[in-house]
Structure formats: C-alpha cells, structure tokens
Amino acid sequence: MKITRREFALGTLAGVSALALNAALGNLANIAIVGEASAQAAIDQPGPLGEMAVGDAKAPVTIIEYASMTCPHCATFHAQTYPELKKRYVDTGKVRFIFREFPLDQLALAAFLLARCAGPDKYFPMIETLFQQQKEWVTQKPLPPLLAIAKQAGMSEQAFNECLQNKTLIDGLEEVRQRAIKLGVQSTPSFFINGKPAPRVFTIEDFEKAIAPYLKG
C-alpha cells in the first residue's frame, strides 16, 4: 500500500464498498487458513512494530481486536462497549486487550500511521480521537481534518507528511494485515479470545459470556 497526497485530494479513498476493498486487497477466498497449532503460534506472535496493548500481561484472558479506522462498527464498539469492557475487566486485571491494525483501505492505513507516529503514550488517545471524529475525516477530502487531529497530538505538518510516507511503518502494518488474513480475518472488528476466534461478540453482555469460562475459580 502507498499513500499519496494526490489520492487524498481526489477523494478516491472514501465510499468504497467492503466487497471492492476485499477484492483490491487480495483474493481472500484463495487463501488457505493455517492449521490450529500454526494459527495459535501466529495469533500469539507480536507484529514487527510491537503490540499495542492495555492491561496486565499476566491476565487470565487475552482479547485481540483486529480493527480498521474507517470501519463504523469499530467506532461503535469503541464508543459503546470498550469503555465498559476496560472498566470491568482490563482495569481489574482480568483481561489484557491487544489492538491490532487491519486497514481496509488506504485512508484507514493513513490513520493508523498517524497513531503510530504519535508515539506509544499517545497511541490509544489518538485511536480514540480518530474513532470519535470518524465522520469528520472519512470524507472526500480527509487530509485537512486528519492534519488537524495530528496537530492536536503535537505533530507538525512536516512530521504529518513524513509520517504518511514512513515505509517502515507501512510495511509493518501490512505484515500485521497479511498475518490476520491467513488467520481468516476478513472483516472488522474481528476478535480473538485466548487465541480462539470469537465471531459473535460485540456488546458487553457478549463479552461477559465469552470471558466467563476462563475466569471460573
């Protein structure tokens, strides 16, 4: 994936259907899902840029979310479910929550780049802000609102432009995405709980039911 200012200016990154995005990102139907042991090893392996996680590393439950910054369902999850999940389980030491980038388009990739460039301490606040203001920057002209958000995080316009062309970050995010595809991730948000796919969780009640067996005793 590459991002150019021309693409931003032309607004070609918005309004693309999920089906078209999947086709553009690769023929997922032809990708074989890895075996169970290999899948477990793959899901446990941090990406080349390092994990972005909150919570006790020794927590009995690990939840991994694959998300795209342009995904409205991801924004809804982080607005409605994640705060309560964090309060009840992450902050109490029961859950470690890992957030992994799965950009569905170049605009999502750009947003993830800005979050990474903001630094570890500002990564999650940047993710939260981007989700909260998603409707403002997922537009035909996303560059100005994204720049405004980056400046709020202390990033200069020069740093902003350099960030969007950071090949190390772009390659690292792409590797995470490719690994996820091999695990069967095709849409966002996708969750894994203790290494196992959890396709039917979204609300806090869903997570409570899914987590409960791991917390017995």
The 10s digit of each residue's pLDDT in 38-47 is 667 778 888 9
**pLDDT, the chain, mean:** 86
- Within a domain: 164: yes
Q: 92 lies in which domain range?
A: 18-215
What is the CATH classification number for the domain harbouring 175? 3.40.30.10
**Residue 137 has which token pair?**
């920057």
Handedness of CA 107, 181, 52, 80 (dihedral sign): positive
Residue 181 belongs to some domain of the structure: yes
Burial of 58 (0-12, 13-18, 19+ CB in 10 A): exposed
**H or E element at residue 208:** helix 204-215
- Residue 51 belongs to some domain of the structure: yes
Rounded to whole angstroms, the Cα distance separating 118 from 138 reads: 20
**8 within some domain:** no
Give the confidence band of 22 by pLDDT, cuts at 50, 70, 90. very low
Q: Would residue 69 count as lying in a domain?
A: yes
**pLDDT of amino acid 48:** 94
- At a CB cut-off of 8 Å and minimum separation 6, what does 73 contact? 188, 189, 202
For the cut 70, the answer to whether the pLDDT of residue 56 exceeds it is yes
CB 17, CB 25: distance < 8 Å: no
- Extended beta strands in the chain, E state: 52-54, 61-67, 95-101, 190-193, 196-197
d(CA 9, CA 143): 8
**Per-residue model confidence (pLDDT) at position 37:** 64
144 inside domain: yes
40 vs 23: which has the higher pLDDT: 40
Q: Is the pLDDT of residue 20 over 60?
A: no
Residues 74-128: tens digit of each pLDDT: 999 999 999 999 999 999 999 999 999 999 999 999 999 999 999 999 999 999 9
| 168-212: pLDDT as tens digits | 999 999 999 999 999 999 999 999 999 999 999 999 999 999 999
- Whether 61 and 53 have beta carbons less than 8 Å apart is answered as no
* Total of domains in the chain: 1
Cα 86 to chain center, whole Å?
Answer: 17
For the entire predicted model, the pTM comes to: 0.83
For residue 35, pLDDT over 80 is answered with: no
Q: Look at residue 18 and tell me whether its pLDDT is greater than 60.
A: no
Q: Which of 194, 211, 178 is nearest to 86 (CA)?
A: 211
Place of tokens 């032809």: 30
d(CA 145, CA 141): 8
122 in a domain, yes or no? Answer: yes
Concatenated DSSP letters for 118-166? H-HHHHHHHHHHHHHTHHHHSSSS-HHHHHHHHHHTT--HHHHHHHTT-
